[in-house]
Structure 1
């Protein structure tokens, strides 16, 4: 694809590729320049930079001591980043390593059974039974929660969202996981009071297979091996160069 020349400053070319590089560095802000006016503003900026470059060359800015000092700082920083990059860039993770890690950590890729329960919290068992009768008589569970429940979840019709085993008090958990979908429980007593529970959704336990996890594991293991390579190199360099903490 032709790299179109879009401007010239002091004989130097500004190309479409230069524009594309500038846009790529803008990240999320790039969208606001995706129009003729925005592109003109970006081109103006590239031109302005070239004008300053020409001016700097004319006055021999690169011979100033201040410039040389800044250049040395930039060079030092670049060498540091380059050498770190060289240390970790050769790190590779083989397929066998990914598969071995997956087999050794299978339990981490398993999602337990969860239920989405709504509840109404009441401080009196008799009152809870009266509410159940009212629901059986036609009042929706969600409206009953808004009307009677003392739990802040009443504003959402008693919706507690999805939860797994071990996240709720034992009595509430046992009753929730024993219910069929849309079945309404008898009053369940816990340390908080009496609960009327309705399970509206259920997700069975599931596990993610190796192929589903392969790319994530590759990234994780690569980062781990890069960190190990970095630390090993640091240890080697510490044995070679003097380090003093003052």
Structure 2
């Protein structure tokens, strides 16, 4: 809606398209869809009038001078200013198509659809124990039996069998080990946040390579976030040198 359009007036206070648009933008997606549109929604205008009436009443009663309100106002102002400052800091971040193409070419192996694997694992908490079990497997002992005897994962009941999974379903260290090795491989102990895994790769499906046009938006978003994080971290480092910081923890 035209931001300068006059919609109503309450005790001399004008209600314009700016107020209308801000109200619509504040709604959740479902309500926004219901109340939005090119036509002016009378219910929205009525609500803005009701709010303006409450505002006038609050001013008349001096609520804007209330200590509690002033404290809330200062905190709200502080929060809004932080958000605004961050927005201004990051608003100039741009991502070129050349950057996106280079990222795609350098990381083609990461852009696959339907890539999956089937694996079994033995999970233990101690590295020494994991190495001991790995040596037993190398010497010919049965993987499934060792999983049932030593693994701390519920999959031990199935001999460590995890079934089929796609990229993104497992923690990174585990996933990298599975997709980097050939079918039939039993890996050396792999450390993750859960402990140490000895992994047996049972099967793999390479899937298909995703074309540049299918992933360029995702890549652009990833590059933008990386740039924003770098700018943010650099700015925080500068401000830490400029202002005194005390922490009680």
State TM-score, norm by structure 1: 0.54
The DSSP-based 3-state class of the residue aligned with 2:95 is: coil
Contact 2:90 2:228 in 1 (8 A): yes
User: Which 5+ residue runs of structure 2 have no aligned equivalent?
Assistant: 117-162, 168-177, 185-204
Equivalence for 2:68: 66
Please list the CA deviations of residues 2-51 of structure 1 after superposition, one character each: whole Å capped at 9, or x if unmatched.
6553332112233455334322322222345579xxx4543332112101
Equivalence for 1:12: 13
Which of 233, 244, 247 is the aligned partner of 1:245? 247
Task: Give, in whole Å, the separation in 2 of the partners of 1:73 and 1:42.
Answer: 28
User: Which 5+ residue runs of structure 1 have no aligned equivalent?
Assistant: 115-159, 172-202
- Higher Cα Rg: structure 1 or 2? 1
Please list the CA deviations of residues 129-175 of structure 1 after superposition, one character each: whole Å capped at 9, or x if unmatched.
xxxxxxxxxxxxxxxxxxxxxxxxxxxxxxx99989x89xx89xxxx
Task: Give, in whole Å, the separation in 2 of the partners of 1:229 and 1:208.
Answer: 30
Equivalent pairs counted in the alignment come to 165
Task: Give, in whole Å, the separation in 2 of the partners of 1:33 and 1:78.
Answer: 26
Contact 2:8 2:16 in 1 (8 A): yes
Contact 2:114 2:166 in 1 (8 A): no
Instruction: Using the TM superposition, give the Cα deviation of residue 85 of structure 1 relative to its aligned residue in structure 2, in angstroms.
Output: 1.8
Equivalence for 1:84: 86
Contact 2:112 2:210 in 1 (8 A): yes
State TM-score, norm by structure 2: 0.54
Q: Kindly tell me: are residues 97 and 49 of structure 1, through their superposed partners in 2, closer, same or farther at Cα, counting changes over 3 Å?
A: same
Instruction: Using the TM superposition, give the Cα deviation of residue 72 of structure 1 relative to its aligned residue in structure 2, in angstroms.
Output: 1.8
Task: Give, in whole Å, the separation in 1 of the partners of 2:33 and 2:103.
Answer: 41
Task: Give, in whole Å, the separation in 2 of the partners of 1:226 and 1:102.
Answer: 19
Q: Structure 1 runs of 4+ off > 6 angstroms?
A: 160-164
Task: Give, in whole Å, the separation in 2 of the partners of 1:17 and 1:55.
Answer: 22
